[in-house]
Structure 1
């Protein structure tokens, strides 16, 4: 689902429910009941201010407690998220995502629907966008750190760059992902399972004239 959301979107609570499958996307109705069309499994995209304008009693914490009973899979909220909202989401294990203030609800709704109905096409499109962005920054001679920041920002994953001998050079990760990437010593491209973390490794091919050699590895 990360592919359909803005790069600035951030999970702030409810990580215990991240394994829930998202089957569709739902938004607030303009009149009560605002969640009449929710059936279960949805990513619910809402504006905190819009909800309060419809019904002042609809705090984000209240909506989280109601939606988990459906149950929906994720709540993505535009607007202020306070400690009470975070506590409510953590208590019921419902992932709560803070969306950028300038998020376009209809545009994100379309992106989520596209991702669900045609995952391969959406994955290819986002992959091409990321490749073009990385190529542009490489041409601008931005260093490995800037390229890793781009990868981390657009994939929401921990990333690391390794020397050809497997020694870690740069890392952008937290928690268990950080520990796993530090323990990894890549020697070839491929998938790895380490400390309950799934890690994808890709070799960086370099050339000098007609000679090809390894420039190291990227892992995420």
Structure 2
């Protein structure tokens, strides 16, 4: 483990943990130094140096001690110095209270999660964040391509993008009329760089502001992503003609590399979906 390398819980949620992981307690800015898996038999805790993410399977622990509770495990891990606990278990309010009191992050993993794979992904992210980010972006691209091949609707594609970035995604037609908008369904973390939710940002935008912006500065080049009243917007082209616009809602000034990749991959499949819709119509 390199003591100079770490990652935040927010980065883990975006690039390493299973997509449907949720943050039940703690803050996404919490820093993680390494990931370790808690074993069923003593010594249950691997060698800890402080700041780790502890991966816990309560089913496995109960195979050794049937009476042990999640709250007890969290308390013991907090005392050992971990910064976060990720668990395959329905999280009770008692467990949330214990984690909050201890000042650690508590994450709920999907039931089908593979702890060994998660440990590997988290530690790879800590060692090489850029490579892991690119890998997650390619996973999103594959999901989008698979959904498009299965003829899923536009909203299904937007949901993948919204879930990956934890930000709302909006599609307008070539005249600037909204066709679809999707908000993240999993409360994973707040939108970076803003105190307001993405929903508030969309709803508070003055009517006609986006259309006026399109009249002045609409992106025309394939792949171009421009700052817009909504956040960041790129063009959707069908047979070299503008069919619409795809926007990622974000009040920040800078688009992250990961979000840029998701928006670029999303634009490709959304354009294909619009072409299918026009052909059917």
Shared fold by TM > 0.5?
yes
SS at match of 1:88: helix
Structure with greater proportional strand content: 1
For 1:105 and 1:43, locate their aligned partners in 2 and report how far apart those are by CA, in whole Å: 12
Structure 1 position 43, deviation (Å): 1.2
Q: CA RMSD in A?
A: 2.9
Q: Residue 199 of structure 2 is aligned with which of 178, 184, 198?
A: 178
Matched-pair contact (CA < 8 Å) for 1:23–1:42: yes
Matched-pair contact (CA < 8 Å) for 1:4–1:111: yes
What per-residue deviation string (whole Å, max 9, x for no partner) do you get for residues 7-55 of structure 1? 23222x213x321111110111343342251221211101112223334
For 2:70 and 2:17, locate their aligned partners in 1 and report how far apart those are by CA, in whole Å: 20
What are the ranges of 5 or more consecutive residues in structure 2 without an aligned counterpart?
A: 1-11, 188-195, 214-218, 220-224, 250-281
Q: What TM-score, normalized to structure 1?
A: 0.79
Structure 1 position 206, deviation (Å): 0.7
1:133 lines up with 2:154 in the alignment? no
For 1:181 and 1:55, locate their aligned partners in 2 and report how far apart those are by CA, in whole Å: 50
Aligned pairs, number:
210
For 1:63 and 1:101, locate their aligned partners in 2 and report how far apart those are by CA, in whole Å: 18
For 2:54 and 2:130, locate their aligned partners in 1 and report how far apart those are by CA, in whole Å: 23
Aligned to 1:104: 114
Question: 1:1-220, aligned counterparts within 5 Å?
Answer: 1-2=12-13, 3-11=15-23, 13-15=24-26, 17-55=27-65, 58-153=68-163, 155=164, 157-163=166-172, 165=176, 167=178, 169-173=180-184, 176-183=197-204, 187=213, 189-190=225-226, 201-208=232-239, 211-213=240-242, 215-220=244-249
What per-residue deviation string (whole Å, max 9, x for no partner) do you get for residues 42-96 of structure 1? 1110111222333456421122223334432221101232221122223334221
What per-residue deviation string (whole Å, max 9, x for no partner) do you get for residues 173-205 of structure 1? 47823223434566563568x9xxxx8624133
Structure 1 position 166, deviation (Å): 7.5
Name which of structure 1's ranges 139-148 and 125-134 shifts more when overlaid on structure 2: 139-148
Q: What TM-score, normalized to structure 2?
A: 0.64
Matched-pair contact (CA < 8 Å) for 1:160–1:218: yes
For 2:177 and 2:103, locate their aligned partners in 1 and report how far apart those are by CA, in whole Å: 38
Q: Looking at CA atoms only, which structure, 1 or 2, has the larger radius of gyration?
A: 2
